[in-house]
Amino acid sequence: MVCLLIASSLWLRWRERQQARLNWLKRQIRIEVLNGTDIDRLGQQAAERLRRSGFDVVEVGNAEDRSFTETVVVDRVDSRARNARLVAAELKCQNIIPQLEPTLLLEVTVIVGKDYAKEKKKGFLGLF
């Protein structure tokens, strides 16, 4: 019984440290969110979701092309797209592209597509 208590205590501490590290990583990622659709405020909704999750959204605007059917997460600083993967996981997005642009003062660009609006409309109160 004592071993079980010790093991569970160690696991909980490890999990707390992992969560603290993840929260720290999220705060380090500066994000630009662009609305790639003709749906008003869709980019703002995605930005608010990212902020609630702990990310640093530094800019929200409209993409030049407003015909994106799918959301795209672009990593601007890491060829292995580690930053973009964290952001994409929060948005439940599969489209991740490393496109290095070191002159930008941000790590990730999110171009919100029409699929983001469809995700919001799942069933009664978004529960199903």
Question: Can you give the residue range of the structural domain that contains 46?
Answer: 28-126
Contact 7, 34 (CB under 8 A): no
Specify if 2 maps to a domain: no
Beta strands in 2-94 (DSSP E): 30-35, 56-62, 72-75
36 lies in some domain: yes
CATH of the domain at 85: 3.30.70.2390
pLDDT tens, residue by residue, 80-108: 999 999 999 999 999 999 999 988 899 99
Q: Quote the pLDDT of residue 24.
A: 86
Residue 74: inside a domain, yes or no? yes
Q: Which of the two residues, 13 and 106, has the higher pLDDT score?
A: 106
Question: Does residue 79 fall inside a structural domain?
Answer: yes
User: How many structural domains comprise the chain?
Assistant: 1
Does the pLDDT at position 126 exceed 90?
no
For residue 100, being part of any structural domain is answered with yes
Classified as helix, coil or strand, 97 is strand
User: Would you say residue 57 lies in a domain?
Assistant: yes
Kindly report the pTM of this predicted structure.
0.81
- Evaluate whether residue 59 is within a structural domain: yes
